[in-house]
Structure 1
Amino acid sequence: MPMTVPSPPAATPTTTTCRVAVAGASGRMGRMLIEAIEASADCVLVGALDIAGSPAIGADATAFLGRTCGVGITADIAAGLKNAQVLIDFTRPEGSMAHLAVCSRLGVKAVIGTTGFSAAQKAELAALAERTAIVLAPNMSVGVNVTLGLLQMAARALATGYDIEIVEAHHRHKVDAPSGTALKMGEVIAQALGRDLKDCAVYAREGVRAERDPSSIGFSSIRGGDLVGEHMVLFAGIGERIEITHKSSSRSTYAQGSLRAVRFLAGQGTGMFDMFDVLGLH
């Protein structure tokens, strides 16, 4: 009687690939995102956007890596998003709003690292999040977001007797100050103290001839060279001080955090999220 050969076990399902588009594809951050996607096992680049008039329009999105991927850089938002499930956008507020309007229409989710949104734009973002899923964070770095958690804890413990100052430093090309990350740090601290940042933030002291308001949160900005991003929060008491610092030496940390946000969005339908949601820090 012939021996029955058992069937081979079923193959383990492969990881689902997420189709990603990148805005600002020819910029420093855009290229870092594209390189991270290309190196990822579970993400694939399907779209690349840039502003009209950019010399990169029409070029292959991975040409800077010395190879081609078949994805051309385009200024046509709908064309750049037509095959995408998620857009990653680290551009300017006006550009991000235009991209998100198309995303909400096409059902494309979005990871937004753009900073400098106005109050009106933030309200519009909230409305768009009712039609698609958005992760919005001023800093996608895992380390920065863990730092935010530490600041929350420190602020509660040091609620009285300590003056709070936030110092940030970035490259010469950064256009907004204070940085979005510094403002987020201020918001987290103010919330932990039961304050509203807009009522206690101090952004400049030139011409002020008065003692420091103990309830204020001060901000200082440095711009120069090629600094990627440094943030230090000082809790200064009498006889001691505590400094909580985060320093970025490469934009790759933002890119890797963005891909974690992309993976998180795979399980979301609609809504506004932040990196605390992505990392389970709430």
Structure 2
Amino acid sequence: MSLSILINGARGRMGQAVASAAREMNLVVGAAIDVGDDAAAGLARCDVVVDFSSHAATRSILELAVAQKKPVVLGTTGHAAAEKKALLALAGQVPCVWAGNFSVGVNLLFALTRRAAAVLGSDYDAEVIEMHHRFKKDAPSGTAARLLEIILEERKLNASALRHGREGITGERTPTEVGMHALRGGDVVGDHTVMFAALGERVELTHKASDRGIFARGALRAAQWVVHQPAGVYDMQDVLGLK
């Protein structure tokens, strides 16, 4: 029997892309809902939730999934740190894949960034640059935030190392800071670059997305995987076997 999927945020760009990808992959969209729709009734006839709605709706969809014991794939970003901590505890009660980016290529970028951050020492200045379309509501992107986390983890730094852009007389760059730069404009689906710059050379790792379908197909791949997992919070590195 084909997997039946509840799409939450069905009228958004990503929701529509997930519906299109599901048709390509011969998966069943059992329910397609948005704000104001009856999520409980929709989920009751589905096997898994794929949510690309809004960070404001994450708690309600997770509570519903926990109540009905249904797996969840979450692609929403923009949660405050304290809020996300509480949501992760809730998500862990069911099988849940939560990722800021479901692209196979981006998840390879995560793995390469971790390796580069481990090999290239503090004499290589690390900067993260992302660009998205003018309609994106949060910054930095979830993908850029994850790239930052990876660099901080490998270099054993905390959040105080982060610099969101620079302005005015900032003084010389310190060896422990990591820059984050969010660009917005046009219809850019998603560009991410991690730069490691030393005296005499520079290493750049870049991923550019031109089709929103790559994220939708990745999310559906995660949905097919997560229905066979025990309760817990996973990411695309788990789905792809990159850990």
Shorter-chain TM band = over 0.9
Match of 2:153 in 1: 191
> 2 CA distance for matches of 1:130 and 1:23?
19
Tell me what 1:260 maps to.
221
What whole-Å deviation, never above 9, does each CA across 1:140-175 have from its counterpart, x for those lacking one? 101000010000011111123111111100000101
Q: 90, 98, 110: which is aligned to 1:148?
A: 110
Matched, 1:242 2:227: no
Instruction: Give distance in 2, aligned partners of 1:39 and 1:182.
Output: 29
Q: 1:36 aligns with which of 16, 21, 24?
A: 21
Structure 2 residue aligned with 1:176: 138
Higher helix share: 2
Alpha-carbon distance in structure 2 between the residues aligned to 1:279 and 1:24: 25
CA distance in 2, matches of 1:130, 1:92: 19
CA–CA distance in structure 2, aligned partners of residues 79 and 93 of structure 1? 21
Query: Please, which of 41, 63, 67 is the counterpart of residue 105 of structure 1?
Result: 67
- Residue matched to 2:127: 165
Aligned mates of 2:223, 2:170 — CA distance in 1: 49
Percent identity of equivalent pairs: 41
Question: 1:130, 1:156 → 2: CA distance?
Answer: 29
Tell me if the contact between 1:152 and 1:189 (Cα under 8 Å) persists in the aligned partners. yes
- Whether the 8 Å contact between 1:97 and 1:121 is mirrored in structure 2 is no
Matched residue count: 243
Structure exhibiting the larger radius of gyration computed from Cα positions: 1
Q: Does 1:129 align with 2:100?
A: no
Deviations 1:26-68 (A, max 9, x none): 1111111001112213x2110111113xxxxxxxxxxxxxxxx
1:220 and 2:181 are equivalent in the alignment: yes
| CA RMSD of superposed structures (Å) | 1.2
Give the counterpart letter for 1:182 in structure 2.
A
The answer to which structure, 1 or 2, has the higher relative contact order (CA under 8 A, 6+ apart) is: 2
1:254 maps to a residue whose letter is: F
Looking at structure 2, the residues matched to 229 and 130 of structure 1 have their Cα atoms a distance apart, in angstroms, of 28
TM-score (norm 1): 0.83
- Please report how far the alpha carbon of residue 123 of structure 1 lies from its aligned counterpart in structure 2 after TM superposition: 2.2
Contact 1:165 1:218 in 2 (8 A): yes
| Residue pair 1:234, 1:241 contacting (<8 A) in 2 also | yes
Question: How far, CA to CA, are the matches of 2:80 and 2:162 in structure 1?
Answer: 17
Give the distance between the partners of 1:236 and 1:35, measured in 2 at CA: 41
Maintained 8 Å contact 1:22/1:47: yes
Q: Which residue of 2 aligns with 1:25?
A: 10
Shift in Å at residue 130 of structure 1? 3.7
Distance of 2:100 and 2:222 partners within structure 1: 13
Partner of 1:10: none
**Alpha-carbon distance in 2 for matches of 1:178, 1:241:** 23
Between 111-120 and 145-154, the greater mean CA deviation after superposition: 111-120
Give the Cα–Cα distance (whole angstroms) in 1 for the partners of residues 68 and 151 of structure 2: 37
In 2, Cα distance between the equivalents of 1:170 and 1:269? 34
Q: Distance in 1 between matches of 2:50 and 2:171?
A: 45
Deviation for aligned residue 1:192: 1.3
Equivalent AA in structure 2 for residue 23 of structure 1: N
Unaligned runs of 5+ in 2: none
Could you say if the C-alpha distance between residues 226 and 103 of structure 1 is closer, same or farther in structure 2, counting changes exceeding 3 Å? Answer: same
Q: Secondary structure in 1 aligned to 2:89?
A: helix
- In 2, the alpha carbon distance for the partners of 1:121 and 1:76 equals 25
Please name the residue that 2:34 is paired with. Answer: 50
Structure 1 unmatched runs, 5+: 1-15, 53-74
Q: Alpha-carbon deviations, 1:68-114, whole Å to 9, x = none?
A: xxxxxxx1111221111111111211112211111110111110010
